[in-house]
């Protein structure tokens, strides 16, 4: 119901207001334009404004009536205006002079239009002072100024003209207008501060529209809206807000006083005034490393060497930003004011922020190691002399890589086998080639018999093994050797062709071809089924072994006995091919080297005594210390392992000083030296001292790196090396077809 009441009160207010307006406007007969226009638009207001002549009853009636009547009313309004005008003008004075306007001004003065007798608009009329005309009429013709009276005429008319006092000059048209009685009356009333309209009743009788008495009919016939039955949510909120305010005991009208904010950044006190004990957490706090300090290159005017060259600049631009060594490009500016803003400044700072909170931190002990401390302290090589120090002789003669060399036990000669299908015998001291044996295939291995009583060499050429009486040196020995072979022939002639090996003994007095071979020195030819890779003598000089890795599990090693022309295959079943074999210098042991390990067999007991694990993948060579307790093994994977047979089946020391595969290793029979030849073209001579005292480990000191051989592509560098039996000299055979003696 509240709403209903409200609307009622509003309407009553409205009516009051309108009545007030009435009173205001009615004062002015000529209403202002605004009001007029308002009247036009707001039809309801019409009776209240301009036409004040109507009495209050009409207003009331108008209110009572519905809006449909309004149009008729407007029409009646115009009519009334006209009637009024006629009434006003009936008292028109006589026109005494031509100066007085002939046209009734009210004719043009409609409620909504300007005075259009003169079209100059709203400008000061003085501007036309010097012209004959005063403006233009609607057709555009000049309005000629009426003749102005001179002072005399003025004076006369003052006396003569009875209407002089009510004559007024219209500025626009320049004509005189005589006010009517009504006008005069109006002016008088205004002067007296009365209502302009004499008929206007400022205090009409109050009509109590909404009476206290109950009427039979409702004031309006509208059905009540639904909203009027529902309590207003907005009002409810407003009320609750008010209630809240009252509850908070705040003055309802005053704006809320905001309490001053606690300043976030108020630093006006000393937080470190009381020192607390630092928490335990901080003890393991890892502070972030500080930013890197700038170098000379970062200067705006760096020394010229820090600036990039064109290639460096290109390089810098082409690398990814993360991979750049410097995150900026050094630049030189002539003047400080030329230095531009560094475009990555914000980014760098941001990345620093990221590092600070995202980068995992860990304490890392920086090893501040002096590299000198890492180098082991070894006895000086000078104190470990003698050992070969320099190249003293080069034996030139072979035309292809020299595969193998072997030195005479007395140390006067040596033989070499080469890829050019020859075996040459050299005198060591003179460097002269004494003999050359030519074969039909490249020579893979040569070996001189360790027994100095015999002058025998064995040479392997492809699948054949030649036993040769070299025929150099002491003639008696040569003859004795020959006699030995002759005995062989006499002993028996039975030769099995179907066996794995085929012994062919050459006698002096047979066919020509063979006798030629005899003359050359070849005494026995042993044919094998497979290619022979290595030959090795037993220290006695009677047995020798041939290794054929292709021979499979049964035929890979064959041991020959020269004095009995017998061959035996020690291994019946092998799981892997044997690469090398070696006889123990004093005991009946046979070392069989496989690719990854070495097995030691006791030949007397016919059993496996030990297995050495080499720590390498591809074994290449094996050599034993003359005392028989230490072994060295060279491998294609750069390692040289020293085994102490009493100590362990694992290497006592592994040396990795070669940069390429090791081809051959050798012990010196007298001096504590061993050498290793490698594909990198070097022979490293190492001092390897073995003590009799079992508690003391061997002393291993490299003493010399011998260079000289050229490395030739796939052939390799140094293919074989061997020590002189008496002197501290080492021979090396290279792929560059030379043999070198270092002394």
Partner 1 sequence: MGRMKKKGESGAKKAYITRRKAVQKLQVSLKDFRRLCILKGIYPVEPKNKSKVGGGSSQNKTYYLLSDIQFLSHEPILWKFWEFKIFMRKMSRARGRNDREALENVRSNQPFYKLDNIVKERYPTFIDALRDIDDALSMCFLYSRFSKSKYLHVELINICRRLTVEFMHYVIETRSLRKVFISIKGYYYQAEIKGQTITWVVPHQFNLGNFHDADYKVMRTFTEFYVTLLGFVTFKLYTSSNLYYPPKILTIKSEALENDEDDFNEQISDQIAALNQPLLKNSIQIDEDINPDEFDEPDLKQDNQLTFHQLVKFQKLFEGFKFFINREVPRESLVFVIRSFGGLVSWEKTLFPGATFDENDESITHQIVDRDDISNKYLNRYYIQPQWVFDCVNARTLLPVEDYFIGAVLPPHLSPFVEDKEGEYVPPEKIALNEGRSLNLAKEQSNEENEEESEEEESEDEKEIPTNDVKNNQSKEEKEDQEKIKMEVKAGKALKEDKKKIEEREKAEEKRLAVMMIPKKKRRLYDKIMFGKKRKSREVEKLVEKRKVFENESKKLKRQKTK
Mask 242-271, x = binds partner 1 (CB under 8 A)? ----------------x---x-xx-xxxxx
Kindly tell me which of 334 and 606 has the beta carbon lying closer to partner 1. 334
Smallest gap, in angstroms, from Cβ of residue 442 to partner 1? 34
The CB-of-384 to partner 1 minimum distance in angstroms stands at 11
Residues 658-687 that bind partner 1 (CB under 8 A): 684
Binding pattern to partner 1, positions 204-243, x when CB under 8 A? -------------------------------------x--
For partner 1, which is the closer residue by CB, 229 or 265?
265
Stretch that binds partner 1, among 152-160, 295-303, 407-415, 446-454 (CB under 8 A): 295-303
Residues 118, 120, 123, 128, Cα dihedral to 10°:
-90
Contact status, residue 303 vs residue 296, Cβ threshold 8 Å: yes
Of the candidates 152, 215, 233, 375, which one interacts with partner 1 according to CB under 8 A?
375
- Which segment (65-73, 100-108, 134-142, 339-347) binds partner 1 by CB under 8 A? 339-347
Choose, by CB under 8 A, the member of 216, 362, 390, 714 that binds partner 1.
Answer: 362
In whole angstroms, how close is the CB of 620 to partner 1 at the nearest point?
A: 19
d(CA 126, CA 431): 144
The two tokens of residue 143 are 């309005």
Distance CA 666, CA 255 (A): 108
User: 14-53: which residues touch partner 1 (CB under 8 A)?
Assistant: none
Distance of CA 721 to the CA centre of its chain: 54
- In the complex with partner 1, which residue's Cβ is closer, 87 or 346? 346
Strands of the 730-734 sheet, one edge to the other: 391-396, 738-742, 730-734, 718-723
Rounded Cα–Cα distance for residues 123 and 143 (Å): 16
Stretch that binds partner 1, among 119-127, 566-574, 655-663, 728-736 (CB under 8 A): 655-663
Q: Shortest gap between Cβ of 701 and partner 1 (angstroms)?
A: 7
CB-CB contact of 41 with 33 (8 Å) = no
- Which stretch, 134-142, 363-371, 438-446, 492-500, contacts partner 1 (CB under 8 A)? 363-371
Residue 289 engages partner 1 in binding (rule: CB under 8 A): no
At a CB cut-off of 8 Å and minimum separation 6, what does 180 contact? 88, 89, 91, 92, 93
We find the least distance from the C-beta atom of residue 270 to partner 1, in angstroms, to be 6
Which of 2, 187, 354, 429: binder of partner 1 (CB under 8 A)?
354
CA distances in angstroms from 301 to 305, 329, 340, 731, listed in the order given? 11, 13, 13, 63
Q: Which is nearer to partner 1, 174 or 651 (CB)?
A: 651
Report the nearest approach of partner 1 to the CB of residue 379 (Å).
10
- Residue 79 token pair: 């009519």
Nearer to partner 1 by Cβ, of 150 and 305: the residue is 305
Quick one: which of 570, 564, 563, 524 has its CA closest to 546? 570
Cβ 733 to partner 1 shortest distance, Å: 23
Long-range contacts formed by 226-230: CB under 8 A, 24+ apart: 227/3, 228/1, 228/3, 228/4
Residue 295 vs 561, nearer CB to partner 1 = 295
Out of 102, 248, 290, 575, the residue judged to bind partner 1 by CB under 8 A: 290
Among 288, 396, 429, 694, binds partner 1 (CB under 8 A): 288
Cβ at position 85, least distance to partner 1 in Å: 57
CA angle 558, 663, 687 (to 5 degrees): 110
Confirm or reject binding of residue 371 to partner 1 (CB under 8 A): yes
Cβ pair 561, 467 in contact under 8 A: no
Q: Select the span of 125-133, 364-372, 455-463, 596-604 touching partner 1 (CB under 8 A).
A: 364-372
Residues 165-191 as b/e (b if ≥16 CB within 10 A, e otherwise) read ebbeeeeebbbbbbbbebbeebeeeee
Comparing C-alpha atoms, which of 607, 611, 582, 608 is closest to residue 597?
Answer: 611
Report, in Å, the least distance between residue 234 CB and partner 1: 11
Comparison of 250 and 432: residue with beta carbon closer to partner 1: 250
By the 10 Å C-beta count (0-12 exposed, 13-18 middle, 19+ buried), 500 is classed as: middle
3-state SS assignment for residue 338: helix
Scanning residues 699 to 728, which ones bind partner 1 (CB under 8 A)? 700-705
Give the strand pairing for 176-178 and 391-396. unpaired
Alpha carbon 118 to its chain's center: 86
Interacting positions 382-441 with partner 1 (CB under 8 A): 382
Q: Beginning with the edge strand found earlier in the chain, give each strand of the sheet holding 619-624 in spatial order.
A: 619-624, 630-635, 640-644, 653-655
Alpha-carbon distance of 742 to 389, in angstroms, equals 7
| Region from 136-144, 167-175, 377-385, 481-489 binding partner 1, contact rule CB under 8 A | 377-385
For partner 1, the closer of residues 142 and 349 by Cβ is 349
Binding map of partner 1 across residues 298-337, x = CB under 8 A, - = no contact = xxxxxxxxx--x------------------x-xx-xxxxx
H or E element, residue 73: helix 70-89
DSSP 3-state of 286: coil
586 binds partner 1 (CB under 8 A): no
Q: How many residues bind partner 1 (CB under 8 A)?
A: 89
> Segment contacting partner 1 (CB under 8 A): 358-366, 570-578, 642-650, 721-729?
358-366
Looking at the DSSP bridge assignments, the partners of residue 535 are: 546
């Amino acid at each position: 119901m509240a709403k209903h009441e409200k609307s009622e009160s509003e309407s009553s207010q409205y009516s009051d207001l309108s009545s007030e307006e009435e009173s205001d406007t009615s004062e002015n007969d000529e209403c202002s334009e605004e009001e007029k226009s308002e009247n036009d638009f707001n039809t309801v207001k019409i009776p209240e404004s301009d036409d004040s002549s109507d009495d209050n009853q009409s207003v009331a009636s108008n209110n009572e009536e519905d809006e449909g009547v309004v149009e008729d009313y407007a029409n009646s309004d115009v009519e009334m205006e006209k009637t009024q005008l006629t009434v006003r003008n009936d008292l028109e004075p006589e026109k005494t002079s031509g100066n007085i306007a002939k046209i009734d001004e009210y004719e043009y003065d409609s409620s909504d239009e300007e005075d259009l007798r003169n079209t100059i608009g709203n400008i000061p009329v003085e501007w036309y002072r010097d012209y004959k005309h005063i403006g233009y009429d609607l057709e555009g013709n000049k309005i000629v100024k009426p003749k102005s009276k001179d002072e005399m005429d003025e004076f006369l008319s003052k006396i003569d003209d009875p209407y002089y006092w009510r004559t007024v000059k219209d500025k626009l048209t320049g004509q005189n207008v005589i006010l009517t009685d009504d006008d005069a009356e109006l002016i008088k009333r205004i002067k007296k501060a009365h209502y302009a309209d004499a008929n206007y009743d400022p205090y009409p009788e109050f009509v109590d529209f909404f009476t206290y008495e109950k009427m039979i009919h409702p004031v309006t016939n509208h059905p009540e809206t639904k909203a009027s039955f529902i309590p207003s949510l907005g009002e409810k909120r407003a009320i609750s807000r008010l209630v809240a305010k009252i509850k908070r005991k705040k003055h309802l009208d005053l704006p809320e006083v905001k309490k001053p904010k606690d300043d976030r950044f108020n630093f006006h006190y000393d937080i470190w005034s009381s020192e607390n004990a630092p928490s335990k957490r901080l003890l393991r706090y890892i502070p972030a490393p500080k930013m890197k300090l700038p170098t000379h290159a970062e200067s705006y005017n760096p020394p010229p060497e820090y600036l990039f060259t064109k290639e460096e600049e290109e390089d810098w631009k082409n690398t990814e930003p993360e991979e750049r060594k410097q995150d900026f490009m050094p630049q030189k500016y002539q003047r400080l004011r030329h230095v531009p803003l560094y475009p990555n400044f914000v980014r760098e700072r941001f990345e620093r922020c990221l590092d600070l909170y995202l980068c995992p931190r860990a304490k890392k002990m920086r090893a501040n190691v002096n590299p000198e401390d890492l180098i082991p302290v070894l006895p000086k090589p000078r104190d470990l002399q003698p050992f070969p120090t320099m190249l003293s002789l080069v034996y030139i003669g072979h035309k292809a890589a020299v595969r193998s060399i072997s030195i005479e036990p007395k140390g006067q000669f040596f033989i070499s086998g080469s890829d050019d299908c020859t075996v040459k015998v050299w005198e060591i001291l003179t460097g002269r080639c004494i003999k050359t044996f030519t074969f039909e295939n490249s020579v893979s291995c040569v070996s001189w018999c360790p027994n100095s009583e015999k002058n025998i060499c064995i040479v392997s050429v492809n699948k054949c093994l030649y036993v040769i009486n070299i025929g150099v040196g002491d003639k008696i020995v040569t003859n004795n050797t020959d006699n030995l072979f002759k005995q062989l022939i006499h002993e028996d002639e039975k030769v099995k062709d179907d066996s794995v090996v085929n012994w062919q003994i050459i006698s002096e007095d047979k066919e020509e071809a063979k006798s030629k071979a005899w003359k050359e020195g070849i005494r026995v030819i042993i044919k094998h089924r497979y290619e022979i890779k290595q030959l090795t003598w037993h220290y006695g000089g009677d047995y020798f072994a041939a290794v054929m890795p292709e021979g499979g599990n049964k035929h890979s090693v064959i041991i020959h006995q020269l004095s009995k022309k017998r061959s035996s295959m020690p291994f019946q079943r092998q799981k892997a091919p044997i690469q090398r074999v070696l006889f123990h210098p004093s005991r009946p042991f046979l070392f069989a080297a496989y690719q990854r390990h070495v097995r030691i067999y006791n030949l007397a007991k016919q059993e496996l005594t030990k297995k050495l694990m080499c720590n390498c993948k591809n074994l290449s060579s094996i050599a034993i210390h003359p005392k028989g307790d230490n072994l060295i093994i060279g491998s294609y994977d750069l390692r040289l392992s020293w085994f102490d047979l009493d100590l362990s089946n694992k290497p006592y020391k592994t040396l990795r000083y070669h940069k390429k595969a090791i081809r051959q290793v050798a012990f010196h029979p007298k001096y504590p030296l061993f050498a290793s030849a490698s594909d990198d073209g070097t022979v490293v001579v190492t001092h390897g001292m073995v003590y009799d005292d079992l508690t003391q480990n061997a002393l291993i000191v490299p003493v010399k790196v011998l260079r000289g051989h050229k490395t030739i592509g796939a052939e390799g560098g140094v293919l074989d090396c061997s020590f002189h039996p008496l002197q501290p000299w080492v021979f090396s055979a290279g792929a560059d077809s030379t043999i070198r003696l270092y002394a």
